[in-house]
Amino acid sequence: GGVITDTEWLGWRWCFYVGVPFAIIALIVLQRTLHLPVVRRDVKVDWLGAFLISGAVSLLLIWVTQAGDSYEWISWQTWAMTGGAVLLGLLFVLVESRASDPIIPLRLFRNKTITLASAASLFVGIAMFSGTVFFSQFFQLARGESPTMSGILTIPMIAGLFVSSTVSGQVITKTGRWKAWLVSGGVLLTVGLGLLGTLRHDTPYWHIAIYMALTGLGLGMMMQNLVLATQNQVAPEDLGAASSVVTFFRSLGGAMGVSALGAVMAHRVTHYVQDGLAALGPKAAALGHGGTAGGGIPDLDKLPAPFREVIESAYGHGVGDVFLYAAPFALLGLVLV
């Protein structure tokens, strides 16, 4: 992705386009090789349930994305959107309780493991998506790295995730025991995010690499194993619904977490930029307010050295704050596990 973005004749949009041929290949391979028995039965698509849950989630996402920017966190828009989301959610529960083929069978939540795994996945999603989004901003805006290098520098987290998910999956397959892996993952994830909360623009990279590796190890132990724990609780006919419920909550947590934490980061960065410019003197503060603190992403290469240091310091501290705020959510996930 970084290489594609850095290549002038391609650009960042090709990060999406490049996936198209792989998707087509996957479609062809599945069509030619995946032969499953077809059981014909009468079904009713839960259109109303799908509409209500989509509406509820969309309202929450729009609210958390725009709050603090287009309107204040405490405002009539906030009450309208959160109230509307709650109302649609209640209507969804009512519809699902009466649907013949519900999109989310409510009976699944009578099982404590499924309920707790879904809630834990919500918080794991916040940690997972926050890491992938904010690390790139940290390395590019706080360290002055290129998109290519910002991707390479996150390898410790990806390596940790890969190793822990693979090893834990193999051991669970052999032993059938998954609880210890989930608890260990929750501990590592919480500790990793807490340590990442100490990030500053001049933090030695080997420190960052260790913190990222701990976070990746924790994510790898929790992410798929929460799905596995859920799948072990249901009959074969409910496997699809149970798996998708946990995955849905993880995606929801990630989307809402990135939006909310992104708003927090923007606020903290603005605060740190103002403090840094004030330290440079009134003239610098006036220039900076018009040039670098207006909400846009600065081009570090075009900034004078003193301004650049202020911006890098602000983004380094701001991203550190984001991970510090994410750590309690990981702790909640650990408690739920």
Give the pair of three-digit tokens for residue 279: 């330290």
Tell whether the model's pLDDT for residue 293 goes beyond 50.
Answer: no
Out of 44-48, 127-131, 212-216, the most confident range is: 212-216
Specify the pLDDT at position 290: 46
Tell whether the model's pLDDT for residue 283 goes beyond 80.
Answer: no
Regarding predicted confidence, which is higher, 219 or 41? 219
- Type of residue at 67: A
Are 98 and 193 within 8 A, CB to CB?
no
Regarding predicted confidence, which is higher, 225 or 68? 225
Are 160 and 213 within 8 A, CB to CB?
yes
Identify the band that residue 296 occupies on the pLDDT scale cut at 50, 70 and 90: low
**Locus of tokens 């939540």:** 109
Tell whether the model's pLDDT for residue 312 goes beyond 70.
Answer: yes
Specify the pLDDT at position 300: 74
Residue 112: HSE in the Cβ half-sphere, 13 Å Cα cutoff: 2
Other beta carbons within 10 angstroms of residue 154's beta carbon come to 21
Tell whether the model's pLDDT for residue 131 goes beyond 90.
Answer: no
Query: Among the listed ranges 117-131, 239-253, 298-312, which one has the minimum average pLDDT value?
Result: 298-312
Report the percentage of the chain scoring pLDDT > 70. 95
Specify the pLDDT at position 91: 97
Specify the pLDDT at position 291: 47
SS (HEC) of the chain = CHHHHHCCCCCCCHHHHCHHHHHHHHHHHHHHHCCCCCCCCCCCCCHHHHHHHHHHHHHHHHHHHHECCCECCCCHHHHHHHHHHHHHHHHHHHHHHHCCCCCCCHHHHHCHHHHHHHHHHHHHHHHHHHHHHHHHHHHHHHCCCCHHHHHHCCHHHHHHHHHHHHHHHHHHHHHCCCHHHHHHHHHHHHHHHHHHCCCCCCCCHHHHHHHHHHHHHHHHHHHHHHHHHHHCCCCHHHHHHHHHHHHHHHHHHHHHHHHHHHHHHHHHHHHHHHHHHHHHCHHHHHHHHHHCCCCCCCCHHHCCHHHHHHHHHHHHHHHHHHHHHHHHHHHHHHHHC
Query: Among the listed ranges 129-138, 155-164, 185-194, which one has the minimum average pLDDT value?
Result: 129-138
Specify the pLDDT at position 294: 46
Burial level of 63, CB count in 10 A (0-12/13-18/19+)?
buried
Q: For 109-121, what is each residue's pLDDT tens digit?
A: 999 999 999 999 9
Mean pLDDT over residues 295-305, rounded? 71
Are 294 and 162 within 8 A, CB to CB?
no
Specify the pLDDT at position 284: 61
pTM of the model: 0.86
Nearest residue to 289 (alpha-carbon basis) of 311, 273, 313, 266: 273
Would you say domain 107-337 falls under CATH 1.10.10.10?
Answer: no
Domain ranges (residues) in the chain? 1-40, 46-103, 107-337
Tell whether the model's pLDDT for residue 267 goes beyond 80.
Answer: yes
Specify the pLDDT at position 40: 83
Identify the band that residue 127 occupies on the pLDDT scale cut at 50, 70 and 90: confident
Give the pair of three-digit tokens for residue 188: 């590592």
CA 203 to chain centre: 23
- Cβ partners under 8 Å of residue 32, min gap 6: none
Phi, psi (deg, nearest 5) at residue 71: -155, 165
- Type of residue at 206: W
Q: For 27-52, what is each residue's pLDDT tens digit?
A: 999 999 999 888 888 878 899 999 99
Are 246 and 230 within 8 A, CB to CB?
yes
